[in-house]
């Protein structure tokens, strides 16, 4: 069953271009099963990263690569507050998918 991961991040002032550049350059070889990847600008310096996966297992298997990529982003990110750190991740299996 298709799975999705969604991660909210806030970029430090003046770091948007570098943030987007790093995402364009990330090594995705270890992300087998990822069929789509989006960066959504949800505010002035807020972004939501969305990944679509063939299965929950494929997403879990790719976590080491995703964490490695995140480690390169950390210097560009602000703490979100409330004990969340620099990311607020969510993931799960798709319950409803409608193609319009």
Q: Is residue 26 part of a domain?
A: yes
Q: Is residue 21 part of a domain?
A: yes
pTM for the predicted model, two decimal places: 0.90
Cα separation, 3 vs 91, in Å, equals: 7
Q: Is residue 13 part of a domain?
A: yes
Q: Is residue 71 part of a domain?
A: yes
Domain containing residue 58: 3-92
Q: Is residue 80 part of a domain?
A: yes
Spatial contact of 4 and 50, defined as CB atoms under 8 Å apart: yes
The pLDDT of residue 28 is above 90: no
**In Å, what is the CA distance from 51 to each residue of 12, 14, 46, 89, 95?**
23, 25, 17, 11, 15
Residues sharing a CB contact under 8 Å with residue 46, sequence separation 6 or more, in sequence order = 8, 9, 10, 11
Cα separation, 48 vs 43, in Å, equals: 9
Q: Is residue 98 part of a domain?
A: no
Q: Is residue 97 part of a domain?
A: no
Tens of pLDDT, residues 18-27: 999 999 998 7
Task: Count up the domains in the chain and report the number.
Answer: 1
> Which CATH number does the domain housing residue 33 bear?
3.30.70.100
Tens of pLDDT, residues 50-72: 999 999 999 999 999 999 999 99
pLDDT of the residue at 7: 96
Spatial contact of 34 and 2, defined as CB atoms under 8 Å apart: no
Q: Is residue 99 part of a domain?
A: no
pLDDT of the residue at 61: 94
């Amino acid at each position: 069953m298709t799975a999705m991961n969604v991660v909210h991040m806030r970029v430090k002032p003046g770091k948007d271009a570098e943030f987007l550049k790093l995402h364009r350059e990330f090594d995705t070889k270890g992300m087998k099963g990822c069929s789509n990847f989006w960066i959504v600008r949800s505010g002035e310096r807020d972004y939501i990263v969305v990944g679509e996966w063939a299965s929950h297992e494929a997403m879990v298997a790719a976590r080491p690569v995703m964490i490695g990529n995140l480690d390169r982003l950390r210097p560009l990110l602000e703490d979100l507050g409330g004990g969340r750190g620099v990311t607020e991740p969510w993931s799960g299996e798709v319950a409803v998918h409608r193609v319009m």
